[in-house]
Amino acid sequence: MNASKKIAVAGATGRLGRHVVDVLNEQGHEVVAFSRANGVDIETGVGLAEALAGVDVVIDASSTPSADRDVATAFFTAAARNLHEAGTQAGVERLVVVSIIGIDNSVSGYNAAKLAHEQELAKGPLPVQILRAAQFHELVEVMTQWGTQGEVAYLANMRTQLVAARTVAEKLVELAVHPAPASTVGPFPEIAGPRPETMAGAAAVLVARRGDAIRVQEVSDPANPDREQFEDGTLLPGPHATLAGPTFAEWVEATYPAVG
Ligand SMILES: NC(=O)c1ccc[n+]([C@@H]2O[C@H](COP(=O)([O-])OP(=O)(O)OC[C@H]3O[C@@H](n4cnc5c(N)ncnc54)[C@H](OP(=O)(O)O)[C@@H]3O)[C@@H](O)[C@H]2O)c1
């Protein structure tokens, strides 16, 4: 039986955060769920001190919708500094933060911003546990929407071991409740799905399940400085990763009603 803790979830309305809140509630923890929707801004710090009063552990599942490296870096580095500052003042024990598998050499876009996030977290006074996750099953729909022009969905060539956000949430809660020695130097614990996939292959499964009248085309973008990492398997989990289902196909079947 776990001792119940008071755990704050930043980004509690997001694809990941909502599952973190569910898992914590199911386990009987006291949850402080926040995002800008209830007046707490992790980037500016507004409302953070009040939200963290009496909190033992913070799970940060917040994100910015921007994939621009500079915009996203500004968001994540400010969030890291604000969590350390407000968390220290509130007497928080630890931060548990989610990042992305395979980003060590990322130089562009969102992944480079997440690397800056990890580095900023390492500078603060509170112990931090970082969990690196693979791309979420839930991201496939977003990438498909972003890439659709007319009747074609253009998906970047990307090898990924897609994982359900719920599965990542369970691992984050485990780390929040049963801490490993906190470390901001790698290798970080990793969580990924049961098998390697491609983003385009997963998009094709999704489109077929929904009966969308679009064709998926995998494309390689020579202008992307991180293209090789997307394509050569760098984003796949390491041998120490926790692998857990459901597979993307199982998740799609459970999430989207069959057409016809
Ligand atoms: N998506 C993936 O495939 C994936 C893979 C690996 C790791 N991750 C990591 O998982 C985390 C969550 O990603 P996600 O896809 O679940 O994000 P998401 O769905 O975009 O959710 C973002 C959450 O952050 C909140 N938020 C945004 N700006 C905020 C601010 N200024 N202050 C406070 N809250 C703010 C949002 O709520 P409001 O709009 O109400 O503020 C929302 O609750 C991120 O760290 C991401 O890097 C994601």
Predicted confidence (pLDDT) per residue in 56-98, tens digit? 999 999 999 999 999 999 999 999 999 999 999 999 999 999 9
Question: Measured from the CB, is residue 100 less than 6 Å from ligand 1?
Answer: yes
Residue 205 lies in a domain: no
pLDDT at 182: 55
Is the pLDDT confidence value at 21 over 70?
Answer: yes
In a domain, 173, yes or no: yes
In a domain, 233, yes or no: no
Domain total for the chain?
1
Q: Whose CA is nearest to atom 41 of ligand 1?
A: 36
Give the global pTM.
Answer: 0.97
Indicate if the pLDDT at residue 3 is higher than 90.
no
From the CA of 195, how far away is ligand 1's center (Å)? 24
CA distances from 27 to 67, 158, 241 (A): 34, 35, 24
Specify the pLDDT at position 1.
43
Calculate the alpha carbon distances from 108 to 103, 136, 171, 260 in Å: 10, 20, 28, 42
* Mean pLDDT of the region 231-250: 97
260, burial (CB in 10 Å: exposed 0-12, middle 13-18, buried 19+) = exposed
Asked whether residue 228 is domain-assigned, the answer is: no
As a whole number of angstroms, the distance between CA 177 and CA 49 comes to: 22
CATH number at residue 18: 3.40.50.720
Examine residue 211 and state whether it is found in any structural domain, yes or no. Answer: no
Residue 115 lies in a domain: yes
Structural domain boundaries, residue 100: 6-134+163-192
Is the shortest distance between the CB of 35 and ligand 1 below 6 Å? yes
> For 127-150, what is the mean pLDDT?
97
Provide the H-helix boundaries in the chain.
Answer: 17-26, 48-51, 69-90, 109-121, 139-147, 165-177, 199-210, 227-231, 248-255
78 within a domain of the structure (yes/no): yes
Give me the pLDDT at residue 172, please.
Answer: 98
**Within-domain flag for 118:** yes
**What share of the chain has pLDDT > 70, as a percent?**
96
Q: Which whole number is the average pLDDT over 101-124?
A: 97
Dump pLDDT digits (tens) for 164-210: 999 999 999 999 998 776 556 668 999 999 999 999 999 999 999 99
